[in-house]
Amino acid sequence: MKIFTTLNPKNISNIYLITDDDQKYGVIIDPGSLSMNVYKLIRFTGAEIRKIIITHNGINQTAGIPLLNKIYKPEIFAYNETILDLPATKVKNGFVIKEGDMEFKIMETPVHTYDSISVFIENSLFVGDVLQAGALSSLDKKNVPTNFELNVIKKYFLSLPENTIIYPGKGPATTLEIEKKFNPYFQRIVNG
Amino acid sequence: MIFSKCKKDDCSKKAVYLSNYCFEHSQDKDDLIKKIYTFVDKNKTLIGFNFSYIPFNNFNFSTKDISFSFFSYCQFENSNFRETRIVSSFLDFANLDDTDFTSSNIKFSVFGGASIQNGIFKDSNVNFSNFLGVNLRNANFNNSDLGYSRFINAITQNTSFFNCNLKKTVFENTVFDEKSLKSSNSQDAIIINCTAIDCNIKDYIL
């Protein structure tokens, strides 16, 4: 598996392209645009885009879908059954999306929005807007995570291997080890 | 950029380059280190390698192009990264004391938990990078673009960010002093729960 990152220039959010080792097939997570840098990245890898995974139904995650759909006709996976009026395969906790020898395991993580999901593959976790390095999102308008949200993180993220790399929808990557040590909300969970 | 797992049973770490095992479980460590030094020294471009836990003290990485690589927990004391390009790479929990990153170009990279005492990042682009919990005593970021990088729970004693671009740069639980952010666009930074010594924190936020 190979992971490529590029930026959506409109809102500076991350777009991830995951390919198999031979870069034959690709899965895009949160195509918030299909700007030239995204298109160039796809061309650079040579991968055929087979699937799209949406971590939640927001314009920053979905705006590139119509154009990708015209070019590649990828299958769309999301918590919702339609994305931008296109049919999507609804995913739930434990759902596994297979592409070649890659397996993307879905976790329902309703922290940023009620339809937020996270995607785990090998030792990599794609969390959309659920967290940024050192911070945690919230459904609450004040953006202060509730006990319910902290429990979601505890249940799904803290049980993952320590060497898990976390790829957020915005900002730099991080690791579970770094978050446990320096993210104030993770510290709150770890310390009870 | 394909990382195989350490062949030792129950070890979840990645195998280090030129070995079937992670560094801890590699047999002849001295020989492995020598081979890695030769390889790194010869190659200007390093894409997709795992060198985690390798000691690189006093090593010259200047002008190299490093991407998608792992240097977690490495020792880089007194190493030279001047004019080095580092993209999507992990230097988390590394020892980067007395290391020189002058005029470097760093993007999407992770330094979380690293010790960077006396580190020099002046005249550099350090964007979208993770500095969570780093120890930055006596570090120098002057004249650098730090846009979208995150300094949360970082120790920044006697660290200067003079004349920097701080657009969407996040500082949380950070201690500044009078000269920390001088001539920088601190109003474009995200400054949360920080304190200031010998100056008014509001001067930085407003």
Interface confidence, given as ipTM, is: 0.93
pLDDT of residue B205: 61
Interface contact B97, partner A, CB < 8 A: no
d(CA B161, CA A177): 27
Name the residue among A54, A61, A111 with its Cα closest to residue A87.
A54
Chain A interface includes B73 (CB < 8 A) = no
Rounded CA separation B113/B97 (Å): 13
Q: What does the pLDDT average to over A133-154?
A: 88
> What is the model's pLDDT at position A159?
92
Is A163 in CB contact (< 8 Å) with chain B? yes
Average pLDDT on B11-27 reads 94
Rounded to an integer, the average pLDDT of B64-83 is: 97
Average pLDDT, whole number, for chain A?
93
Confidence of residue A10 (pLDDT cuts 50, 70, 90): confident
**CA B12 to CA A161: how far, in whole Å?**
8
- A17-21, A141-145, B85-89, B94-98: which range is least confident on average? A141-145
Q: Is the dihedral of CA A63, A66, A72, A75 positive or negative?
A: positive
**The pLDDT of residue B202:** 67
- The pLDDT of residue B179 is 67
| Among candidates A1, A173, A184 on the partner chain, residue whose Cβ is nearest the Cβ of B130 | A173
What chain B holds in terms of domains, given with CATH numbers, is 51-206 (2.160.20.80)
Examine the pLDDT at B201 and tell me if it is beyond 90: no
Using 50, 70 and 90 to split pLDDT, how confident is the model at B181?
A: confident
* β-strand pairing of A165-168 with A124-128: parallel
**Is residue A3 predicted with pLDDT exceeding 70?**
yes
> A108 and chain B: CB distance < 8 Å anywhere?
no
Report whether pLDDT(B39) > 70: yes
Residue ranges per domain, chain A? Answer: 2-190
Q: CA of B76 to nearest chain A CA: how many angstroms apart? A: 19
Q: Which of chain A's residues have a Cβ under 8 Å away from the Cβ of B129?
A: 172
Percent of chain B residues past pLDDT 90, beyond the cut: 79
Which residue in the set A21, A161, A179 is minimally distant from B12, CB to CB?
Answer: A161
Among A24-28, A146-150, B196-200, which is the least confidently predicted range?
Answer: B196-200
The pLDDT of residue B20 is above 70: yes
Q: Domain A2-190 carries which CATH code?
A: 3.60.15.10
Mean pLDDT of A112-127: 95
DSSP secondary structure string for all residues of B51-85 = -TT-B-TT-B-TT-EEES-B-TT-B-TT-B-TT-E
Question: How much is the average pLDDT of A26-43?
Answer: 92
Q: What does the DSSP assignment read for A9-77? A: TTTTEEEEEEE-TTS-EEEEE------HHHHHHHHHHT-EEEEEE-SSS-HHHHTTHHHHHHHH--EEE
Helix (H, G, I), strand (E, B) or coil at A130: coil
DSSP B130: B
For residue B195, what pLDDT is reported?
Answer: 82
The pLDDT of residue A144 is 82
**Most A-contacting residue of B108, B135, B167, B168 (CB-CB within 10 A), to test interface:** B108
Q: What is the mean pLDDT of chain B?
A: 92
Average pLDDT over residues A26-50: 93
pLDDT reported for residue A139 = 85
Which residues neighbour A73 within 8 Å (Cβ) at sequence distance 6 or greater? none
What are the Cα distances from residue B113, in Å, to A60, A104, A176, B91, B92?
30, 29, 12, 9, 6
Contact B125, B105 (CB under 8 A): yes
Model confidence pLDDT, tens digit, residues A68-112: 999 999 999 999 999 999 999 999 999 999 999 999 999 999 998
- So what's the pLDDT on residue A190? 86
pLDDT at B176: 80
pLDDT band at B203 (very low <50, low <70, confident <90, very high): low
Indicate whether B99 pLDDT > 80.
yes
pLDDT above 70: percentage of residues in chain B: 94
Q: Is A100 on the interface with B (CB under 8 A)?
A: no
Which residues in chain B are closer than 8 Å to A168, comparing Cβ atoms? none
pLDDT band at A142 (very low <50, low <70, confident <90, very high): confident
Least confidently predicted of B30-39, B150-159, B173-182:
B173-182
